[in-house]
Amino acid sequence: MGSLVKFLQETYGKKSLLDAIKAGGWKALIDGNVGQTTLVHGPGATLVGTDEFGNKYYERMTEQFGRHRWVVYGNLNWEAHGQEPTTVPAEWHGWLHSIYDTPPSKVPPKKPIYALTQKPNMTGQPGCFLPKGAWQNPEKRNWQKMQMWQPPSRA
């Protein structure tokens, strides 16, 4: 039980299992992955590193290969699209899927000059991408969706 409390303190910032449940941790019972990570995998795991989004990456070598590395997302607010996998940067994605053996916290990768900054998925939020013809786009184009073909006139 002591390792569970320690894991809750360092991961979620809560001092007890009851505090975590009151703060919205009851949703972990609905989402099996969060519950499995919190109650089964988490205690006794090694914190490998964190990224710029506040995601925490863990590893436990006694688990089955492929399930020995996982992420606990920094934003756990479910209503605001909190558990968002698109917030995992490319270098951490490679480590999670065992493409790289050393985590980016130990050996930071060199970013190419053409690399853009990582942005989470904004679908359904105010900053999302809207194509030119979208109804929600305030700068709508005045175009016709369909034009009738007119045969050339014989004169």
Q: What is the pLDDT of residues 40-86, one digit of tens each?
A: 666 778 889 998 888 889 888 887 787 788 888 776 655 555 567 78
- How many separate domains does the chain show? 1
The predicted model scores a pTM of 0.65
The answer to whether residue 140 is domain-embedded is no
- Domain membership of residue 87 (yes or no) is yes
Residue 109 lies in a domain: no
* Distance, CA of 116 to CA of 11 (rounded, Å): 29
Whether residue 69 contacts residue 49, with contact meaning beta carbons closer than 8 Å, is answered with: no
Rounded CA-CA distance 90/36 in Å is 24
Q: Which domain holds residue 48?
A: 2-96
pLDDT computed for residue 132 by the predictor:
74
pLDDT at 96: 92
Residues whose CB is less than 8 angstroms from the CB of residue 125 and which lie 6 or more positions away in sequence, other chains included: 81
Q: Quote the tokens at residue 28.
A: 């972990």
Name the more confident of 97 and 18: 97
In this structure, is residue 155 part of a structural domain? no
Mean pLDDT of the chain: 76
From 64, 103, 63, 82, select the one nearest 24 (Cα to Cα): 82
Structural domain contains residue 149: no
Confidence of residue 155 (pLDDT cuts 50, 70, 90): low
Residue 64 and residue 102: Cα distance in Å, rounded?
18
More confident residue, 105 or 8: 105
Task: For residue 110, tell me if it sits in a domain.
Answer: no
